[in-house]
Amino acid sequence: RLDGESRLTLENAAFAAGVASGPATYHASWLRFDNATGETQPLSATESTTTTIDAPRGLPTASGSFIGADLSVESAGHPAWRRPIRIYFRRSGEGWTLVGLERLPETLTTDPESSRSKAETGKERGDRNPLAHQ
Protein backbone atom coordinates (compact mmCIF):
# COMPACT_ATOMS: atom_id res chain seq x y z
CA ARG A 1 0.00 0.00 0.00
CA LEU A 2 1.29 3.46 -0.93
CA ASP A 3 -0.39 5.99 1.34
CA GLY A 4 -1.01 9.72 1.00
CA GLU A 5 2.23 10.48 2.85
CA SER A 6 4.20 8.57 0.16
CA ARG A 7 4.99 5.66 2.47
CA LEU A 8 4.96 2.17 1.01
CA THR A 9 3.86 -0.44 3.53
CA LEU A 10 4.74 -4.06 2.78
CA GLU A 11 3.95 -7.36 4.42
CA ASN A 12 6.60 -10.05 4.54
CA ALA A 13 4.44 -13.19 4.36
CA ALA A 14 7.23 -15.48 5.60
CA PHE A 15 7.82 -13.35 8.70
CA ALA A 16 4.08 -12.95 9.33
CA ALA A 17 3.58 -16.74 9.17
CA GLY A 18 6.49 -17.35 11.53
CA VAL A 19 8.43 -19.47 9.03
CA ALA A 20 11.29 -16.98 8.69
CA SER A 21 12.99 -14.56 11.02
CA GLY A 22 16.06 -12.42 11.30
CA PRO A 23 17.05 -8.98 10.15
CA ALA A 24 16.03 -7.82 6.70
CA THR A 25 16.59 -4.70 4.64
CA TYR A 26 13.94 -3.75 2.12
CA HIS A 27 15.12 -1.98 -1.06
CA ALA A 28 12.94 0.02 -3.47
CA SER A 29 14.12 1.50 -6.78
CA TRP A 30 11.41 3.95 -7.86
CA LEU A 31 10.49 4.87 -11.42
CA ARG A 32 7.99 6.80 -13.47
CA PHE A 33 6.03 4.57 -15.82
CA ASP A 34 4.35 5.50 -19.09
CA ASN A 35 1.48 3.05 -19.41
CA ALA A 36 0.96 3.83 -23.11
CA THR A 37 4.55 3.13 -24.22
CA GLY A 38 5.92 0.98 -21.39
CA GLU A 39 8.85 3.37 -20.99
CA THR A 40 10.30 3.94 -17.55
CA GLN A 41 12.30 6.79 -16.05
CA PRO A 42 14.32 6.13 -12.88
CA LEU A 43 13.54 8.38 -9.91
CA SER A 44 15.66 7.26 -6.95
CA ALA A 45 16.22 4.40 -4.53
CA THR A 46 15.12 4.11 -0.91
CA GLU A 47 15.54 1.42 1.72
CA SER A 48 14.36 0.51 5.19
CA THR A 49 14.94 -2.07 7.90
CA THR A 50 11.19 -2.07 8.54
CA THR A 51 8.33 -2.96 6.21
CA THR A 52 7.60 0.74 5.66
CA ILE A 53 9.65 2.45 2.94
CA ASP A 54 9.47 6.15 2.12
CA ALA A 55 8.89 6.95 -1.55
CA PRO A 56 11.05 9.67 -3.08
CA ARG A 57 9.88 13.27 -3.21
CA GLY A 58 8.33 14.54 -6.39
CA LEU A 59 6.01 11.68 -7.29
CA PRO A 60 3.48 12.63 -9.98
CA THR A 61 0.30 14.19 -8.64
CA ALA A 62 -1.87 14.14 -11.78
CA SER A 63 -4.74 11.67 -11.81
CA GLY A 64 -3.93 8.81 -14.19
CA SER A 65 -0.17 8.96 -13.54
CA PHE A 66 1.73 5.71 -13.04
CA ILE A 67 4.80 4.89 -10.98
CA GLY A 68 6.61 1.68 -10.24
CA ALA A 69 9.07 0.31 -7.75
CA ASP A 70 11.47 -2.60 -7.99
CA LEU A 71 11.43 -4.26 -4.57
CA SER A 72 13.93 -6.70 -3.12
CA VAL A 73 14.85 -7.93 0.34
CA GLU A 74 18.34 -8.41 1.73
CA SER A 75 18.21 -11.23 4.29
CA ALA A 76 21.20 -13.47 5.10
CA GLY A 77 19.00 -16.53 5.60
CA HIS A 78 17.03 -16.04 2.37
CA PRO A 79 19.25 -15.17 -0.62
CA ALA A 80 16.39 -15.79 -3.10
CA TRP A 81 14.61 -12.73 -1.69
CA ARG A 82 17.19 -10.54 -3.46
CA ARG A 83 15.40 -11.28 -6.72
CA PRO A 84 13.24 -8.21 -7.31
CA ILE A 85 9.59 -7.82 -8.04
CA ARG A 86 8.14 -4.74 -9.73
CA ILE A 87 4.96 -3.15 -8.46
CA TYR A 88 2.91 -0.52 -10.30
CA PHE A 89 0.63 2.15 -8.86
CA ARG A 90 -1.89 4.41 -10.60
CA ARG A 91 -2.74 7.84 -9.21
CA SER A 92 -6.41 8.77 -8.78
CA GLY A 93 -8.30 11.41 -6.84
CA GLU A 94 -8.25 9.10 -3.81
CA GLY A 95 -4.49 8.47 -3.93
CA TRP A 96 -2.36 5.59 -5.22
CA THR A 97 -3.84 2.21 -6.17
CA LEU A 98 -1.76 -0.93 -6.71
CA VAL A 99 -2.49 -2.00 -10.30
CA GLY A 100 0.26 -4.49 -11.15
CA LEU A 101 2.95 -6.80 -9.88
CA GLU A 102 5.51 -8.81 -11.83
CA ARG A 103 8.55 -10.90 -11.05
CA LEU A 104 11.69 -9.51 -12.66
CA PRO A 105 14.66 -11.40 -14.07
CA GLU A 106 17.61 -11.85 -11.73
CA THR A 107 19.63 -9.30 -13.69
CA LEU A 108 17.78 -6.11 -14.49
CA THR A 109 18.33 -4.42 -17.82
CA THR A 110 17.79 -0.77 -18.66
CA ASP A 111 15.71 -1.72 -21.73
CA PRO A 112 12.05 -1.88 -20.59
CA GLU A 113 11.07 -4.09 -23.55
CA SER A 114 13.75 -6.62 -22.65
CA SER A 115 12.77 -6.57 -18.97
CA ARG A 116 9.10 -6.99 -19.77
CA SER A 117 9.64 -9.91 -22.15
CA LYS A 118 11.90 -11.75 -19.71
CA ALA A 119 9.74 -11.14 -16.64
CA GLU A 120 8.01 -14.20 -15.31
CA THR A 121 4.37 -14.23 -14.32
CA GLY A 122 5.08 -15.22 -10.73
CA LYS A 123 2.74 -18.22 -10.96
CA GLU A 124 5.49 -20.76 -10.33
CA ARG A 125 5.94 -22.10 -6.80
CA GLY A 126 9.05 -22.47 -4.70
CA ASP A 127 11.35 -20.08 -2.87
CA ARG A 128 10.02 -16.71 -3.94
CA ASN A 129 10.14 -13.16 -2.77
CA PRO A 130 7.70 -12.90 0.17
CA LEU A 131 6.54 -9.51 -1.05
CA ALA A 132 5.03 -11.20 -4.12
CA HIS A 133 2.29 -12.66 -1.93
CA GLN A 134 0.57 -9.29 -1.51
Spatial distance between the Cα atoms of 26 and 15, rounded to a whole number of angstroms: 13
pLDDT in tens, the chain (134 residues): 999 889 999 999 999 999 998 889 999 999 999 999 999 999 999 999 999 999 999 999 999 999 999 999 999 999 999 999 999 999 999 999 999 999 988 765 544 444 443 343 333 334 445 554 44
From the list 19, 18, 45, the residue with the least C-alpha distance to 31 is 45
pTM over 0.95: no
Considering all CA atoms of the chain, what is the largest pairwise distance in Å, rounded to the nearest integer? 41
